């Protein structure tokens, strides 16, 4: 059904873009609405004391509370700023509140024969703790004042509201979940940005492999599943669902290039002849556009093309194999960043003095800090700073664990390489090709070196040191995990996400030694060599440390980043992905994970997508994930030294006992 335009005149909005008390028709909605996440929307304020409502033009009134304070209550901006936290609590959390605040957005679905059917969705702000009866009252009030021909659905804004409505029938309160509303959006922002370039649309991996060598910095690469070895280009387009936390999307963030899901690319390509054409590609958090250009534009080479990354020369002296818990962050020059960060994590969890409150202590105008919110999250409302610091440490130590294991230093990698004249000769040839920019020779030489390494035995003294570092685990035939830990990753402007290898199924001495060589050899993969060369990292300064850990079975594994990757200005939320099994399944794109946003300021969480499983996780599991999200936010204060707003990328797993083990802590590429 298509709604006809109302014959009745549309009420005029006041000069400040407000309509008070009037019923809402579709024409009036369109007059007042802005755009949010690609859909028209407007703000509503129900005043229960006056039994009326205010419909607000979002372009004039970006914040509910400012409108209520100034227009209804007569407060000055200074008064509101001085009382902001208490005022917010009165409108978002008080069970007997006067005002009910929300957003109305316009959506549409289609009948089998194609015509669009518009419908409205009502929701509160994400941190609103409105109980079930208030949610029902809010829905009923708006339903009575909205054109009856428009279906109206309530969308719970967080998991708490879902719980409140669990016992209410859909017939009594029609509703839709966020993942149902947005799970199949045609276009979704993954990394904001803009680019002009040539669209290269690959319909299969085989087609991509055939032409990958011809890709250049001005190309925009589009395909269903971008491979991890995609080169630096102007932009990415995914034609199928994915997550912002997959390796390729983290690379897009690190490179500062636009990236989005565009499910209707086939239709756009056919309609506008875009494949191979020059296009203008823009990705925002609420819109994604792709427009053909009449001719090739004059392009400046991207900033990253001239990027040069400084790397401290590694320490390859006689460093010993160390247990992870004995390392600190400063040991990265001998053991690599991953190993050093895991050692630092052990230090934090054992510490009585680490300050994990720095993120919340920063000014967030008009607030001097968010420490009151931190107190509420920790169950310590109104506590002094020292008590909050102690509570933060206790919360993190009670939520996460650091993995036990050993770190092999760069020294062992150096001994192995220098033990073989053939390896030294091969490295010399590769260095010469890099110095001469002999692109056609770099990949073959790197592949030959990797093959040679896998057939070159480890010197006896190095092999004895490696196998002697975990004798108990080898004697008991425990399953081991061997992870990479290079000095050429997690650098400002060079995250290197996914370019080095780990081996997760290792048993016995021979498999352990083979896995270590495999990890060392990943430093010479054609892709990693090319990526480092592009940013000026010398081959001579690049070494690989190795982490050896006991395998921990995981019922659930995933990744969290302590930011909202698609909305950089959002300082409240932690983005968390997970799936059954190991975190590698999230980042390598083999499955679509569960995706959540957890508000670490006002509290609450919401489901973004349920992934390949098709169903959400149980409420108690989601509550545990909320604790993990807060722990990640608190760790950000320590690991982002001097810049507590710099987000972290944390890989984790939940053991069968329900404990969270963090297997990687690194800066998130931004």
Please tell me the predicted confidence (pLDDT) of residue 641. 65
Give the tens place of pLDDT for each residue, 480-519.
999 999 999 988 878 787 889 999 999 999 999 999 999 9
Please tell me the predicted confidence (pLDDT) of residue 655. 85
Percent of the chain with pLDDT over 70: 96
Q: Whole-angstrom Cα distance, residue 254 to residue 26?
A: 42
Q: What is the 3-state secondary structure (H, E, C) of 213-243?
A: HHCCCCEEEEECCCCCCCCCCCEEEECCCCC
pLDDT category at 586 given cuts 50, 70, 90 is: confident
Q: Whole-angstrom Cα distance, residue 82 to residue 591?
A: 48
Helices 410-418, 421-435: crossing angle, 10 deg rounding: 100
**Structural contact between residues 417 and 529, judged by C-beta atoms closer than 8 angstroms:** no
C-alpha torsion sign, points 343, 348, 349, 351: positive
Q: Which two tokens stand for residue 487?
A: 């000095």
Q: Whole-angstrom Cα distance, residue 156 to residue 160?
A: 8
Q: Whole-angstrom Cα distance, residue 395 to residue 305?
A: 43
Whether cis (ω within 30° of 0) applies to the bond prior to 444 is no
Give the tens place of pLDDT for each residue, 411-420.
999 999 999 9
Please tell me the predicted confidence (pLDDT) of residue 7. 47
C-alpha torsion sign, points 161, 164, 168, 172: negative
Residue 120's closest CA among 147, 144, 158? 147
Helix (H, G, I), strand (E, B) or coil at 373: helix
Q: Whole-angstrom Cα distance, residue 20 to residue 364?
A: 32
Find all residues with CB under 8 Å of 4, minimum gap 6, and list them. none
- Phi and psi dihedrals of 142, rounded to 5? -70, -40
pLDDT category at 1 given cuts 50, 70, 90 is: very low
Residue 567's closest CA among 608, 622, 615, 612? 608
Please tell me the predicted confidence (pLDDT) of residue 588. 74
Bigger pLDDT: 4 vs 257: 257
State the Cα torsion 307-287-613-556 to the nearest 10°.
40
User: Which residue shows structure tokens 């099994």?
Assistant: 581
Q: Is the pLDDT of residue 113 over 60?
A: no
Burial pattern 250-282, b for ≥16 Cβ within 10 A else e, equals bbbbbbbbbbbbbeebeebbeeeebbeebbebb
pLDDT category at 6 given cuts 50, 70, 90 is: very low
Mean pLDDT (whole number) for 314-320: 94
Residue 577's closest CA among 566, 569, 568? 566
Report the run of H or E that residue 561 belongs to, with start and end: strand 554-561
Q: Which residues pair with 34 in a beta bridge?
A: 41
Mean pLDDT (whole number) for 592-600: 95
Q: Is the pLDDT of residue 5 over 50?
A: no
Q: Whole-angstrom Cα distance, residue 614 to residue 301?
A: 43
Tell me how long the chain is.
670
Helix, strand counts (H, E) of the chain: 24, 26
Percent of the chain with pLDDT over 90: 73
State the Cα torsion 66-67-70-72 to the nearest 10°.
-140
Q: Which two tokens stand for residue 650?
A: 């944390």
Q: Is the pLDDT of residue 387 over 70?
A: yes
pLDDT category at 305 given cuts 50, 70, 90 is: low
pLDDT category at 2 given cuts 50, 70, 90 is: very low
Helix (H, G, I), strand (E, B) or coil at 351: coil
Q: Whole-angstrom Cα distance, residue 581 to residue 412?
A: 32
Give the tens place of pLDDT for each residue, 23-44.
999 999 988 888 777 789 999 9
Bigger pLDDT: 298 vs 377: 377
Mean pLDDT (whole number) for 335-361: 96
Give the tens place of pLDDT for each residue, 123-144.
999 899 999 999 999 999 999 9
User: Which residue shows structure tokens 């204060």?
Assistant: 637
Q: Which two tokens stand for residue 230?
A: 């995609």
Bigger pLDDT: 569 vs 327: 327
Model pTM greater than 0.75? yes
Q: E-strand spans in 375-425?
A: 400-401, 405-408
Rounded to the nearest 5 degrees, what angle is found at the Cα of 410, between the Cα atoms of 406 and 411? 100
**Structural contact between residues 337 and 563, judged by C-beta atoms closer than 8 angstroms:** no
Give the tens place of pLDDT for each residue, 453-480.
999 999 999 999 999 999 998 989 999 9
**Structural contact between residues 310 and 493, judged by C-beta atoms closer than 8 angstroms:** no
Mean pLDDT, rounded, of the chain:
91
Give the tens place of pLDDT for each residue, 490-501.
888 787 878 899
Could you give all domains of the chain from N- to C-terminal order, each with its CATH number? 18-176 (no CATH), 187-306 (3.50.30.10), 308-549 (3.30.1490.20), 552-670 (3.30.470.20)
Q: Is the pLDDT of residue 182 over 90?
A: no
Q: Whole-angstrom Cα distance, residue 607 to residue 178?
A: 7
Bigger pLDDT: 633 vs 614: 633
User: What is the DSSP code (8-state) at residue 407?
Assistant: E
Q: Is the pLDDT of residue 208 over 50?
A: yes
């Amino acid at each position: 059904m298509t709604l006809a335009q109302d014959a009745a005149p549309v009420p005029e909005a006041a000069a400040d873009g407000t309509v008070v008390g009037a019923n809402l028709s579709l024409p009036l909605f369109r007059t007042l609405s802005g755009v949010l996440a690609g859909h028209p929307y407007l703000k509503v304020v129900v005043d229960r004391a006056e039994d009326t409502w205010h419909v607000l033009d979002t372009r004039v009134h970006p914040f509910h509370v400012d409108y209520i304070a100034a227009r209804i209550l007569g407060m000055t901006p200074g008064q509101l700023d001085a009382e902001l936290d208490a005022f917010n609590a009165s409108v978002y959390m008080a069970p007997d509140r006067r005002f009910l605040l929300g957003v109305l957005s316009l959506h549409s679905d289609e009948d089998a024969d194609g015509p669009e059917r518009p419908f409205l969705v009502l929701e509160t702000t994400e941190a609103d703790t409105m109980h079930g009866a208030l949610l029902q009252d809010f829905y009923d009030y708006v339903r009575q004042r909205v054109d009856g021909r428009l279906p109206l659905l309530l969308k719970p804004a967080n998991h708490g509201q879902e719980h409140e409505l669990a016992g209410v029938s859909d017939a009594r309160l029609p509703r839709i979940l966020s993942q149902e509303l947005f799970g199949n959006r045609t276009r979704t922002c993954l990394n904001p940005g803009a680019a002009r370039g040539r669209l290269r649309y690959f319909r299969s991996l085989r087609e991509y492999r055939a032409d990958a060598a011809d890709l250049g910095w001005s190309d925009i690469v589009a395909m269903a599943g971008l491979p991890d070895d995609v080169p630096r280009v102007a932009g990415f387009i995914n034609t199928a669902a994915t997550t912002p936390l997959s390796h390729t999307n983290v690379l897009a963030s690190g490179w500062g290039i636009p990236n989005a899901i565009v499910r209707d690319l086939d239709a756009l390509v056919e309609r506008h002849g875009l494949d191979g054409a020059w296009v203008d590609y823009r990705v925002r958090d609420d819109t994604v556009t792709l427009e053909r250009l009449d001719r090739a534009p004059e392009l400046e080479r991207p900033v990253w093309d001239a990027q040069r990354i400084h790397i401290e020369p590694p320490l390859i002296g006689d460093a010993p194999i160390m247990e992870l818990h004995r390392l600190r962050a400063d040991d990265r020059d001998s053991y690599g960043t991953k190993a050093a960060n895991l050692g630092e994590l052990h230090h934090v969890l054992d510490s009585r003095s680490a300050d994990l409150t720095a993120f919340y202590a920063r000014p967030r105008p008009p607030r001097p800090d968010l420490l009151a919110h931190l107190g509420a999250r920790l169950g310590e409302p109104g506590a002094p700073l020292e008590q909050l610091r102690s509570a933060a440490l206790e919360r993190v130590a009670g939520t996460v664990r650091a993995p036990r294991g050993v770190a092999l230093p760069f020294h062992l990698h150096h001994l192995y390489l220098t033990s073989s004249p053939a390896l030294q000769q091969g490295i010399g040839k590769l260095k010469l090709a890099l110095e001469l920019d002999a692109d056609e020779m770099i990949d073959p030489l790197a592949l030959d070196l990797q093959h040679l390494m896998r057939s070159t035995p480890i010197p006896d003294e190095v092999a004895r040191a490696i196998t002697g570092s975990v004798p108990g685990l080898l004697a008991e035939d425990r399953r081991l995990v061997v992870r990479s830990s290079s000095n050429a990753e997690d650098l400002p402007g060079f995250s290197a996400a996914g370019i080095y290898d780990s081996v997760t199924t290792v048993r016995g001495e021979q498999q352990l030694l083979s896995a270590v060589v495999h990890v060392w050899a990943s430093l010479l993969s054609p892709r990693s060599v090319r990526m480092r060369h592009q940013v000026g990292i010398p081959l001579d300064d690049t070494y690989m440390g190795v982490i050896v850990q006991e395998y921990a079975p995981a019922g659930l594994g995933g990744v969290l980043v302590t930011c909202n990757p698609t909305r950089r200005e959002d300082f409240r939320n932690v983005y968390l992905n997970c799936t059954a099994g190991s975190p590698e399944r999230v980042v390598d794109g083999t499955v679509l994970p569960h995706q959540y946003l957890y508000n670490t300021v006002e509290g609450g969480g919401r489901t973004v997508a349920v992934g390949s499983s098709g169903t959400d996780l149980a409420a108690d599991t989601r509550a545990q994930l909320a604790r993990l999200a807060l722990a990640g936010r608190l760790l950000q204060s320590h690991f982002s030294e001097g810049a507590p707003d710099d987000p972290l990328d944390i890989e984790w797993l939940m053991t069968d006992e329900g404990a969270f083990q963090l297997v990687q802590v690194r800066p998130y590429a931004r």
